A = this chain, B = another copy of it.
């Protein structure tokens, strides 16, 4: 285990431990005020970002929590990271903020450098990028690319559209607007807009009352834990689920242009699947002429102990599109096949085509991650934390069930008995100084920053122990 503390390097004054003042009066008052102009019902607390440091988030009442949720898995290098503050103060950033370009028409002279920094940490085999604004946006842009590709393949990459296509599309009718599907997985989460929402399948609240595309869902493997005890059962589960995918693509009424999957189903409960399952999926997409889109919105940028979680599967050939957002503070998709670039201009296009300000930040995040070897450190810290949680699971078996994320960095989760027990646990953790989040209905997910270290893991484990000892 390395003794290097990048957290101390960045944050010499990072708090040594949480502060719990146990009052939420100011936060509650401000939350009520916010309700007058904005939907405030999801607010846990009103934060004081000026006083937040590294792995610690402060609220307006003076509570300072160890944050293992990190803005729903999206803060990469800690609050008020000095390297990113330098980036935010740079002339390049200021221009990107003030002179936001329509990047598809009038990119700035620095766009190659900005994209180049992002590509330095791209998944292996991916050498191009298209930029978007959020995880949902990134996924929908990837869907567009997949549909364009699928139809161009049928029509001929350089073949012009027919008059019938040009006319019918303006009426939202085939053949110009064809019925094509994205196949996704039960328990998957890919966003909450209409097409991304049609692929999301983790909780009803994400999509109730929204019209949807009638796109199919396959089953994601449900493994038995601990994994090393149930090797055979889990292998059969892989085979069962792959067969479902194969059958759907072969028989679905609407052609499946692409299969969309998370390397680890994150919002849906930290559900893992094997490298064999993913390679099987890759093989099936090749067999049927569908694309493979890997959604790395939550898993990407190091938290699983590898830069991009799907790289662990060493897929051959690599996925056709890989979407990103969250910890990259920017969004879009990586790809490598030139034919994923739409066959004509102005097909994948919009006013801003991303946000260079956020892309500059992504490049800086990538640089810091590489410079401080944070992916390796996160793998080490994750192993340390996992082994401590394993012991805690022995002590509190009904509160720490199906511990998941072994050898997956700090991307760790476990289940409780039910939704009520889980929600109480999440809420109670604030009383011992930790801000922590859930996934699925009954699970807890750890999503700390990439500078979460052994000392923070110790505080987290002690806090869980302290709380569970009172249950």
Write the residues of chain A forming the contact surface with B, with a CB cutoff of 8 angstroms: 30, 33-34, 36-39, 41-50, 52, 57, 60, 71-72, 74-75, 79-81, 84-85, 88-89, 91, 93-95, 97-102, 104-109, 111-112, 115-116, 119, 127-131, 133-137, 140, 143-144, 147-148, 150-152, 161, 165-166, 169-173, 176-181, 186, 191-195, 198, 201, 204-215, 217, 325-326, 329, 341-342, 344-352, 357, 361
A52–B347 CB distance below 8 A: no
Name the B residues within 8 Å of A131 (CB-CB). Answer: 38
Q: How far is B88's CA from A463's CA once the two chains are assembled, in angstroms?
A: 39
Nearest 4 interchain pairs by C-beta: A41-B345, A194-B195, A172-B212, A133-B133
Name the B residues within 8 Å of A329 (CB-CB). Answer: 100
A50–B95 CB distance below 8 A: yes
Q: How far is the CB of A138 from chain B (nearest CB, A)?
A: 11
Q: How far is B170's CA from A217's CA once the two chains are assembled, in angstroms?
A: 9
B351–A213 CB distance below 8 A: no
A105–B177 CB distance below 8 A: no
| Cβ contacts A to B, 19 pairs, < 8 Å | A37-B112, A37-B119, A37-B127, A42-B346, A46-B106, A47-B109, A49-B109, A50-B95, A134-B351, A165-B204, A170-B186, A170-B204, A176-B204, A176-B209, A177-B209, A180-B211, A191-B350, A195-B211, A205-B346
Q: Which residue of B lies closest to A99 (CB)?
A: B49
Q: Pick the contact of A104 from B42, B50, B169, B206 — CB < 8 Å?
A: B42
Q: Pick the contact of A193 from B91, B194, B351 — CB < 8 Å?
A: B194
Name the B residues within 8 Å of A349 (CB-CB). Answer: 39, 42, 192
Name the B residues within 8 Å of A344 (CB-CB). Answer: 41, 205
B191–A213 CB distance below 8 A: no
Q: How far is B198's CA from A173's CA once the two chains are assembled, in angstroms?
A: 10
Most chain B beta-carbon contacts within 10 A, residue among A46, A131, A165, A352:
A352
Name the B residues within 8 Å of A171 (CB-CB). Answer: 217
Knowing A106-B44, A115-B37, A344-B205, say if A213 contacts B192 (CB, 8 Å): no
A108–B177 CB distance below 8 A: no
Q: Pick the contact of A37 from B75, B128, B148 — CB < 8 Å?
A: B128
Told that A34-B111, A144-B192 touch, could you supply 19 new A-B pairs with CB distance under 8 A?
A: A30-B112, A33-B112, A38-B128, A42-B346, A44-B106, A47-B101, A47-B108, A80-B99, A88-B98, A89-B89, A134-B350, A147-B209, A161-B204, A161-B208, A170-B186, A191-B350, A193-B194, A194-B213, A213-B213
Q: Which residue of B lies closest to A133 (CB)?
A: B133
B209–A148 CB distance below 8 A: yes
Q: How far is B33's CA from A119's CA once the two chains are assembled, in angstroms?
A: 14
A211–B95 CB distance below 8 A: no
B102–A72 CB distance below 8 A: yes
Knowing A47-B108, A357-B357, say if A140 contacts B194 (CB, 8 Å): yes
Q: How far is B207's CA from A180's CA once the two chains are assembled, in angstroms?
A: 13
Name the B residues within 8 Å of A84 (CB-CB). Answer: 97-98
A210–B72 CB distance below 8 A: no
Q: Which residue of B lies closest to A349 (CB)?
A: B42
Q: How far is B100's CA from A72's CA once the two chains are assembled, in angstroms?
A: 11
Name the B residues within 8 Å of A161 (CB-CB). Answer: 204, 208
Name the B residues within 8 Å of A72 (CB-CB). Answer: 102, 105, 351
Q: How far is B378's CA from A85's CA once the two chains are assembled, in angstroms?
A: 37
Knowing A99-B79, A129-B38, A147-B209, say if A44 contacts B105 (CB, 8 Å): yes
B170–A46 CB distance below 8 A: no
B101–A177 CB distance below 8 A: no
Name the B residues within 8 Å of A109 (CB-CB). Answer: 30, 46-50, 60
Q: How far is the CB of A198 from chain B (nearest CB, A)?
A: 6
Q: Pick the contact of A57 from B74, B106, B111, B137 — CB < 8 Å?
A: B106
Q: How far is B161's CA from A34's CA once the two chains are assembled, in angstroms?
A: 27
Q: How far is the CB of A207 from chain B (nearest CB, A)?
A: 6
Q: Which residue of B lies closest to A33 (CB)?
A: B112
Name the B residues within 8 Å of A195 (CB-CB). Answer: 193-195, 211
Name the B residues within 8 Å of A34 (CB-CB). Answer: 107, 111-112, 115
